[in-house]
Chain A
Amino acid sequence: MSKPRVAIFDFACCEGCQLQIVNLEEEILDLINVVDVVEWREAMSEQSHEFDIAIIEGSITRPEDEKRIEIIRSRCKIMIALGACATIGGVNKMKNKFDLEEVKHCVYGKDAHMPHLETGLTKAVHEVVDVDYKIHGCPIDRKEFASIIRALLLGKRPTVPDYPVCVECKAKENICRYEYNQICLGPIIRAGCGARCPSNGFRCFGCRGYVDTPNVEAAREVMDKYGLTVEDLRQKMVLFGCEQGPTV
């Protein structure tokens, strides 16, 4: 069997998720043995139009990028959205909370009307084309990336947790961030990160997006316990969760 051809493309993002692939360190040498990386602009000069798996990093923010992602989709068999910008729009979606004309004016002043500064509403990749798999997080967890790719190469469907960060946080025996008077999004955000932020003393800010069916009642119980409301929780979704469904 020939090796699957993999191409990595980046759109509006910080390219930090690609960096996590590099950060696999020695493990990347094993991956290179079982796949054929045909295009990866950040790391390689090689380029190709023929690939089986396209890995997409970044959000779609311009009409020309919508065209580019449609072309990539037409060329690949499997499309993977890599990281929060691609899976849920990431921080780029904060822009959608403002009037776009005003946003352009704020950054570009009197030249906001220049055609090449045209920006649309930020979209996650699946809002433009079909996406087969999502690798969540800002940035992605490199171990999760490796396990998902491994599953795909074995012809298996990768399993991505559909339970909240609180589950992993409790397993780590962390003291709840609410005990420190912080509003943590752990109750409604998809696990898989190993509760990395709360384990380091920082509240979960929701970079992996909601679980498929957030347990609103459980979240309400936590809020009641600490004298807060679900609205307080929703207010904290603004960093990564703007206009991302389903909503609490």
Chain B
Amino acid sequence: MSTNININVHHVTRIEGHGNIVVNAKDGKIEKCEWQVPEAPRFFEAMVRGRSFQDIQTIVSRICGICSITHSLASTKAVEDALGIEVSEQSDKLRILMHYSEQLQSHTLHVGYLVAPDLFNAPSVVPLVPKAPDAVKTIIRAHRVANNWSDLIAGRTTHPVTLIPGGLTKIPTEQQLRDLKKELEATVKDLVAICEVVHSVAGNLPKFERPTEYVSLKQTTPPTYTFYHGDITSNDCNGDGPVNIRNWQKVANEYVSPQSTAKWCKWHRDAYLVGALARFNNNAELLSPLGKKVAEMFGLKKGNTNPFMNSIAQLAEAAHVVETSIQMIDDLLTRGLKPETVKVSPRAGRGSGCVEAPRGILFHTYEFDKYGNCVYGNVCIPTNQNHANIQKDFEKFVPEFMHLGQDALRQGMEMLVRAYDPCVSCSTHFLNVEFV
């Protein structure tokens, strides 16, 4: 078996954004093993300065096309925190409903279009179309439902237009919500079918364990499998958590690594993981019944340490958000939708917003002058928080799987990167690149 390895994957495919994998080994000795990020920086933090608080979400949603709703929500919450704006319970519920549409859309895209080809040993979803047309069409159908759902509540599928500080510009009609509920009920069956397809090839997920710290939101009042409210927690918190989201810098602890251009994050250990697996590990008991059933089907239990299982945790979450949304729509309809007018006025202040992107916890902080113009912006993105953990996984994965040979190792490493559902174009826009 060859122990000379020379892997140089320039721009990993089937991920959002640009990342490289570099591994060199001679006679079984690893000389280099790196996860690199060459994405073009876009300087959002500089660009928001001078902009009105009313324009922030419109600008920063463009950080990421896949999690644009999440970025809009986090920034809007930060603006509301800074300006002391209260949001009605109805708006809060509708926003969560909007957020769930993105979770379903992103998770379906990731598991169905980006991860599944690996499990079927195909270079993309395209060759799977003639091979498994029904499975592909089921995935497409779930994806379409999610997008129509975003269209309805957010005004469109990508880069929401209904979200403004203080509430929403437009709310759906009760009939539209009833129609959405019917679509979601039909989607439950499709999700089960997708889980069965993935389950049939789940044996191709590498058996790889590396315990790490799992960081996510946690909501105790009322106890909820949260994506939107709550404080920051982890499995390592021991009297020093949960942490209020305004203090997210104490969690992220961005630091400089000599082997990467990207700033990394760490809290209690040398790296931490964010995303569906972290949320699952911290909140699994709060999943909806179907979400729990999906986890059980794949043998996914709280405390899982296999990063490849992140995609499975996403499937459980997809089931959870659909099931929970059906319940939320019932609640909204029972109370009856009321039109709202939003009145906000500028004031000086600093505020933070934190929500769970499909790929992990996201932090936004802004400061405004008395006219409501932005003087400072700071954002910490989930993929940025995962970079160090990907690197630490690489360092354990390479020696363990090197015996499979270069091609299998390369594919395994690409799959590992994809498992994190990285959003590299997000993460680099806010890198503070430094070398020691």
Contact A104 B158 (CB under 8 A): no
B residues adjacent to A (C-beta < 8 A): 11, 13-17, 38, 40-43, 45-47, 49, 55, 58-59, 62-66, 68, 109, 113-114, 117, 123-126, 129, 136-137, 140-141, 143-144, 147, 155-159, 161-162, 164, 169-170, 261, 425-426, 430-435
List A contacts of B55 (CB < 8 A).
205, 239
Q: Is the CB of A12 within 8 A of B42?
A: yes
Taking CB as reference atom, which chain B residue is nearest A58?
B40
**Are A41 and B13 in contact (CB-based, < 8 A)?**
yes
> Chain A residues with Cβ under 8 A from B261's Cβ?
114, 116
- Does B65 contact A14, Cβ atoms closer than 8 Å? yes
Contacting B at CB under 8 A, from A10-40, are 11-20, 22-23, 25-26, 28-29, 32, 37, 40
**Are B123 and A15 in contact, with the CB atoms below 8 A?**
no
- Assess A61 versus B42: contact at CB under 8 Å? Given A26-B144, A111-B432: yes
Report the 5 A-B pairs with minimum CB-CB distance, sorted nearest first: A16-B65, A201-B169, A44-B124, A200-B155, A45-B123
Q: Please name 6 pairs of A and B residues whose Cβ atoms are closer than 8 Å in the assembled complex, sorted by A.
A: A19-B157, A26-B137, A42-B13, A108-B41, A111-B434, A116-B38
Q: B433–A92 contact, CB under 8 A? A: no
Residues of A within 8 A of B14 (CB): 41-45
| A205/B169 in contact, CB under 8 A | no
Question: Would you give the shortest CB distance from A115 to chain B, in whole angstroms?
Answer: 11
Assess the B430–A107 pair: CB atoms within 8 A.
Answer: yes
- Asked whether A150 is an interface residue with its Cβ less than 8 Å from the other chain, the reply is no
Chain A residues with CB under 8 Å of B64's CB are 14-16
- Known contacts A45-B13, A103-B46, A239-B58: A117-B161 contact under CB 8 Å: no
User: Which residues of chain A have C-beta atoms less than 8 A from B434's C-beta?
Assistant: 108-111
Cβ-defined contact, A14 with B68, below 8 A: yes
A1 close to chain B: CB less than 8 A? no
Separation in Å of the B363 CB from the closest CB of chain A?
16
Residues of B within 8 A of A220 (CB): none
Kindly report which residue of chain B lies nearest to residue A83, judged by CB atoms: B65
Chain A's nearest CB lies how many Å from the CB of B411?
A: 10
Q: Which of B117, B159, B430 has the most CB of A within 10 A?
A: B159
Residue A222, interface by CB 8 Å: no
Q: Which residue of A lies closest to B164 (CB)?
A: A202
Closest to B163 in A: A202
Q: Roughly how many angstroms separate A116 CA and B260 CA in the complex, as a whole number?
A: 12
Quick one: given A12-B40, A25-B143, are A111 and B433 in contact (CB under 8 Å)?
yes
If A45-B13, A138-B159 are given as contacts, then 7 extra A-B residue pairs at C-beta distance below 8 Å, sorted by A number, are A14-B66, A19-B65, A32-B126, A41-B13, A44-B13, A44-B124, A91-B62
CB-based nearest A residue for B122: A45
Task: Please tell me if the beta carbons of A95 and B62 are within 8 angstroms of each other in the complex.
Answer: no
Chain B residues contacting A103 (CB-CB under 8 Å) are 43, 46-47
Question: Which residue in A46, A65, A202 is a CB contact (below 8 Å) of B40?
Answer: A65
Contacts of B17 in A (CB 8 A): 15
- Least CB distance from A114 to B in Å reads 6
Q: Assess the A196–B161 pair: CB atoms within 8 A.
A: yes
Cβ-defined contact, A44 with B161, below 8 A? no
**Which residues of A are found within 8 Å of B156, using beta-carbon distances?**
139, 196, 200
* Given A25-B147, A95-B47, A196-B161, A14-B62 contact (CB < 8 Å): yes
Residue in B42, B64, B126 whose Cβ sees the most chain A Cβ within 10 Å: B42
Q: Which residues of A contact B435 (CB under 8 A)?
A: 111, 114
Are B62 and A138 in contact, CB atoms less than 8 angstroms apart?
yes
> Given known contacts A14-B65, A201-B169, is B155 in contact with A107 (CB within 8 Å)?
no
Is A106 in contact with chain B by the CB < 8 A criterion?
A: yes
> In the assembled complex, how far is the CB of residue B222 from the closest CB belonging to chain A, in whole angstroms?
31
Q: Are B59's CB and A44's CB within 8 A? A: no
Does A62 belong to the interface (CB within 8 Å)?
yes
Whether B42 and A95, one on each chain, are in contact in the complex, defined by CB atoms closer than 8 angstroms, is: yes
Q: Quick check: B159 and A107 within 8 Å, CB to CB?
A: no
A213 surroundings in chain B (CB, below 8 A)? none
Evaluate contact between A106 and B46: CB separation under 8 angstroms: yes
A16 to B123, CA, bound (A): 22
Given known pairs A25-B144, A107-B432, the reply for A90 and B62 (CB within 8 Å) is: yes
- In whole angstroms, what is the CA distance A45 to B116 when docked? 13
Is A117 in contact with B159, judged by CB distance below 8 angstroms?
Answer: no
Q: Pick from B123, B129, B143: contact of A46, CB below 8 A.
A: B123
For the complex, give the distance between the alpha carbons of A37 and B413 in Å: 25
**Shortest Cβ gap from B428 to chain A (Å):** 10
